[in-house]
């Protein structure tokens, strides 16, 4: 047996062993979290369940005495609830994965044809790079809950399609796959740039294999999408079940479905690892690239682009700090005589259903999102950096021993990372004691939850970026250059997490203005009568996220990093 084959078998065994360990530790983590449910929350659950509680007695304050095998709100078994919907969930994930891969390949193929059919002088090439940066950054920055709105509105309401019909399923799958498509396209551009410097040039078979592996790694994002779509999609998947359980604080079902999602994500990522190992082993002779010929990651962006992007980030920070001075009205100042009034000199962006000025709430909502995201990033920053340095030091050499030491250091990260971000966020926020059923009593729970969700993803960014640093740079230099990239992406991720939690009613408590919360509640009931209530918060959130993502992407390319898939880690 050759050394290369021996190393491949050892790597396969190590990946399988660590996947089993991640699943086991995730189960132990969920088991330990049973004791994190506070007596105050249990008392409130008992009060809310008075009169319609399915059991003859209230829940005991000791969670260890609960029957965790059954739902709190019914006598149905958790195992049966998960088992009945597991097949539908896997069908949705598999269908949307296949659809996103085909659409991404189509986009890349058309883009390749256009690039070949046109001349590429230096100026045009830089212009294309700038346009691609803006387009992809904007596409991957759309608030993720807007896809839920599209899915819930189009099939059943606007088009009159029954939820159970196959056409409704594939139309929903098209919307669910939209965000993964852009992330795969972004990754595909990086792979095409690498292949351009390889012997033989671009190989569509090689690109398809790399995109398929990348698609498998995005299993966490597909789970996030079906959890959001689960509010309106077919009840045959676990997404709706998890969302309903979180809203009702049905902790046995919450934990059971969360563990099912962990197993799904871990197995899909294991399949991606094994597919990559096998592909490298069997295709290395045709796609091997000597180190001297490897692409150096030279940026095609003009030098002014990162400066402009960072200037926009600075402008967003100024708006966040000076928001109280900029807002023409108080955020909760009601003018009932002018409720639902359109844009006018007195109210530039109109008023909402309570007569509050939309512009004032918009500016202060930007302030809330940015400051909460910065707080979440500040809490986890030092821990993420220290963890990344420890992992880099543990990787003493590029052999299976060094890989194993790094995997051991990263094992807690992998356990947290196995939870899709929305699942982990909602799981953590569900422990907060709500204020009269309207969400957490303060913003602290969502800050801590967002920080915990960001931690494994920030470590992943700092782990991957230095490994794709430009040739001649040490891992220390790569890590230093990756720090601002990670910080920018982490703030954008924090904004996404805070806004999504508030949109679902579990984040910033009302009436505090927050962009995600401004899109929740009665906003969509007034869509035809006062569309500005929904349009302007959506536009503001997209622009805010685009600014931070563009800044991170421009620095990533300007510093010469070869990877183009860093931002996708925030979404998984």
Yes or no: say if 233 and 151 are a contact pair by the CB < 8 Å rule: yes
Q: What is the pLDDT of residue 159?
A: 59
The string of DSSP letters for 296-354 reads -----S-THHHHHHHHHHHHHHHHHHHHHHH-SS-TT---GGGTT--S-SSSTT-B-TT
Burial code of 43-58, b = ≥16 C-beta within 10 A, e = fewer? ebbeeebeeeeeeeee
Residue ranges of domains in the chain = 3-43+76-288+302-330+357-571
Q: What is the pLDDT of residue 230?
A: 59
Yes or no: say if 530 and 352 are a contact pair by the CB < 8 Å rule: yes
Q: CA-to-CA distance for 115 and 119, rounded, in angstroms?
A: 8
CB neighbour class for 1 (10 Å; exposed up to 12, middle 13-18, buried from 19): exposed
Which tokens go with 7? 């190393």
Which tokens go with 95? 């269908």
User: Which of 213, 234, 227, 249 is closest to 42 using CA atoms?
Assistant: 249
Which tokens go with 87? 């097949």
Q: What is the pLDDT of residue 296?
A: 43
CB neighbour class for 81 (10 Å; exposed up to 12, middle 13-18, buried from 19): buried
Q: What is the pLDDT of residue 165?
A: 61
Yes or no: say if 537 and 470 are a contact pair by the CB < 8 Å rule: no
Can you give the pLDDT of all 572 residues of the chain as single tens digits?
Answer: 567 777 788 888 888 999 999 999 999 999 999 988 888 888 888 877 655 555 556 788 888 888 898 888 887 899 898 988 888 888 888 888 888 889 888 888 887 777 666 655 555 666 767 777 777 777 677 766 666 666 555 555 555 656 556 666 666 667 777 778 888 887 887 777 776 666 566 677 888 888 899 889 888 888 888 787 754 445 567 888 888 888 888 899 999 999 999 999 999 999 999 998 888 877 754 444 433 334 444 556 778 888 888 999 999 999 889 888 888 888 888 887 788 888 888 888 888 888 888 888 999 999 999 999 999 999 998 898 888 888 777 765 555 555 677 778 888 889 999 999 989 998 988 888 776 545 556 778 889 999 999 999 988 888 776 666 666 566 677 778 888 888 999 999 999 899 888 888 888 887 888 888 888 877 777 777 888 888 888 888 888 988 998 888 888 888 777 666 677 788 87
CB neighbour class for 83 (10 Å; exposed up to 12, middle 13-18, buried from 19): exposed
Helix axes 304-326, 358-394, angle to 10 degrees: 130
Which tokens go with 336? 């009932």
Q: CA-to-CA distance for 414 and 262, rounded, in angstroms?
A: 11
Which tokens go with 247? 């809203």
Q: What is the pTM of this model?
A: 0.86
The CB-side HSE value for 471 (13 A sphere, CA atoms) comes to 9
């Amino acid at each position: 047996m050759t050394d290369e084959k021996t190393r491949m078998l050892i790597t396969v065994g190590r990946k399988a062993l660590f996947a089993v360990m991640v699943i086991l530790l995730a189960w132990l983590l969920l088991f330990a979290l049973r004791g994190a449910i506070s007596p105050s929350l249990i008392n409130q659950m008992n009060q809310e369940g008075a009169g319609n509680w399915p059991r003859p007695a209230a829940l005991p304050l000791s969670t260890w005495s609960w029957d965790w095998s059954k739902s709190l709100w019914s006598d149905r078994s958790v195992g049966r609830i998960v088992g009945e919907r597991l097949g539908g969930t896997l069908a949705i994930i598999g269908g949307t994965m296949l659809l996103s891969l085909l659409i991404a390949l189509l986009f890349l193929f058309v883009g390749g044809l256009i690039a070949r059919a046109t001349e590429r002088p230096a100026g045009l090439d830089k212009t294309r790079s700038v346009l691609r940066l803006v387009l992809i950054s904007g596409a991957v920055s759309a608030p993720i809950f807007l896809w839920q709105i599209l899915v819930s509105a189009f099939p059943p309401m606007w088009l009159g399609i029954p939820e159970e019909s196959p056409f409704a399923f594939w139309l929903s799958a098209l919307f669910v796959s939209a965000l993964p498509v852009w992330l795969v396209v972004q990754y595909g551009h990086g792979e095409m740039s690498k292949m351009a410097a390889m012997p033989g040039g671009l190989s569509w078979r090689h690109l398809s294999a790399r995109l398929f592996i990348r698609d498998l790694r995005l299993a966490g994002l597909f789970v996030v999408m079906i959890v959001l779509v689960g509010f309106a999609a077919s009840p045959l998947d676990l997404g709706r079940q998890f969302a309903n359980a979180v809203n009702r604080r049905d902790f046995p079902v919450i934990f059971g479905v969360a563990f099912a999602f962990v197993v799904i994500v871990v197995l899909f990522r294991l399949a991606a690892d094994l597919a990559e190992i096998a592909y490298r082993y069997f295709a290395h002779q045709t796609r091997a690239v000597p180190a001297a010929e490897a692409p150096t990651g030279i940026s095609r962006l003009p030098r002014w682009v990162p400066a402009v992007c960072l200037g926009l980030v600075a402008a967003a920070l100024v708006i966040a700090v000076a928001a109280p001075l900029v807002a023409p009205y108080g955020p909760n100042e009601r003018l009932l005589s002018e409720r639902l009034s359109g844009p006018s000199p007195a109210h530039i962006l109109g008023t909402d259903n309570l007569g509050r000025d939309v512009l004032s709430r918009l500016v202060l909502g930007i302030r809330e999102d940015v400051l909460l995201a910065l707080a979440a990033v500040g809490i986890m920053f030092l821990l993420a950096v220290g963890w990344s340095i420890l992992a880099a030091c543990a990787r003493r050499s590029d052999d299976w021993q060094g890989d194993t030491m790094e995997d051991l250091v990263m094992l807690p990260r992998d356990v947290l990372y196995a939870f899709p971000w929305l699942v982990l966020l909602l799981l953590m926020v569900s422990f907060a004691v709500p204020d009269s059923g309207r969400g957490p009593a303060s913003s602290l729970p969502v800050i801590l939850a967002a920080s915990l969700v960001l931690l494994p993803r920030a470590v992943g960014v700092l782990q991957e970026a230095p490994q794709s640093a430009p040739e001649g740079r040490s891992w220390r230099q790569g890590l230093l250059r990756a720090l601002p990239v990670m910080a920018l992406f982490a703030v954008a991720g924090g904004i996404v997490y805070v806004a999504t939690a508030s949109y679902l009613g579990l984040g910033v408590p009302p009436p505090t203005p927050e962009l995600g919360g401004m899109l929740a509640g009665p906003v969509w009931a007034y869509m035809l009568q006062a569309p500005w209530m929904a349009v302007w918060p959506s536009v503001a959130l997209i622009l805010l996220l685009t600014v931070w993502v563009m800044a991170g992407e421009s620095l990533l390319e300007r510093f010469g990093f070869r990877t183009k898939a860093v931002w996708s880690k925030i979404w998984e």
